[in-house]
Amino acid sequence: MTAMAEPASQFSQETLWETNLPWTCDLLQRSLPDLVRSVDPATQKSIFDTVLAERKSLFVEWSPDEMRASPRDLIRELVAIGVLEHNLIRKLRDEDLVHLFLAGCSHAGNMLAIRYLPTIRETVGIVVRAHGLCPFSDVDAFVEDITSIMALKLVTKLHTYRFKKPLEHWINSICKKAAISEARRETGRSKKGPRKYVSFLELMAKPVRTIKPEHRDLLQRIFEYHIKRGGKKSVLAIQLSCVEGLTAKEIAKRLGKTPGSVNQLISRDYARLREISMNEFGFTGTDI
């Protein structure tokens, strides 16, 4: 008997929803924020249909024992919940989120950045490895850096999206261009093309016989200078990675950090080490 009761209850809830549907649609239409009203009719309808379906699922799942005196009391409460709250906005289509962002909803842009973060990371990783955009030892940290930059750039460039292709195609395109541009910015340009240099990580990993003694001594002085300025953990992370061959996960365990923060630490302070070598010692990778 108990097993038969649930379908009947579900059917009853759906019947109540359908009975009140015209009234609900009118209430929801009047409750849409001005921001939604400012977008084009097609986007308005798409958002309206998504909101309506979301509210129906909440209504139907409500326990009959907890129902208000009138079904409309519950519907009023459900409609009163913000139309653009996190749980709902994440269900909107890419194009709807773009339109909302362009209309002034910053939360819509942030949601797109979160939604496409794995795609951005994968695309950037493929481009960086395929084109050899940075020293092999820096790939993981470099990819994370470009991914972070692109997640932010995605939001600032949404106004250039023309809706002619799926948003994912557009994102892949700008990610490829940005990865190459960022690599050029990091390594610099010269009349002979991209400047080639030996990274600190590769320098640490090279056999002693291939490195001039004065270079290794200079590297140690650069590290010491950086440590005095608060860079002890990053120097240790670099040494653990290159000298002991530990992975980011193993380094994170030793330093009490996450693997992602270790990659970020190495990548961020690697740039600082290069600044110190150039500004304080007049030494660049091209000197090796």
Q: Give tens-digit pLDDT for 205-219.
A: 555 444 455 555 666
Q: Hunting for tokens 């470099």 — which residue is that?
A: 142
Is 225 in a helix, a strand, or coil? helix
Q: Which long-range contacts (CB under 8 A, 24 or more apart) does 44-52 make?
A: 46/92, 46/93, 46/95, 46/96, 47/83, 47/92, 47/96, 47/100, 50/88, 50/91, 50/92, 50/93, 50/96, 51/83, 51/88, 52/24, 52/25, 52/28
Ranges under pLDDT 70 in the chain? 1-11, 63-69, 81-84, 86-87, 135-137, 185-219, 233, 242-245, 267-268, 270-271, 274, 277-288
Q: How far is the C-alpha of 10 from the C-alpha of 135, rounded, in Å?
A: 60
**Residue 44: in which H helix or E strand, if any?**
helix 41-61
Exposure b/e, 11-44, CB count within 10 A at least 16 = b: eebeebbeebeeebeebbeeebeeebeebeeebb
CA angle in degrees (0–180, nearest 5) for 235-238-241: 150
Contact of 169 with 123, CB cutoff 8 Å: no
Is 282 in a helix, a strand, or coil? coil
Contact of 236 with 255, CB cutoff 8 Å: yes
What single letter denotes the amino acid at residue 185?
Answer: R
DSSP code of residue 229 = T
The string of DSSP letters for 84-151 reads: T-HHHHTTS-HHHHHHHHHTT-HHHHHHHHHHTHHHHHHHHHHHHHHHT-S-GGGHHHHHHHHHHHHH
pLDDT tens, 149-182? 888 888 888 888 988 889 999 998 888 888 888 7
The whole-model pTM stands at 0.54
pLDDT given for residue 2 in this prediction: 42
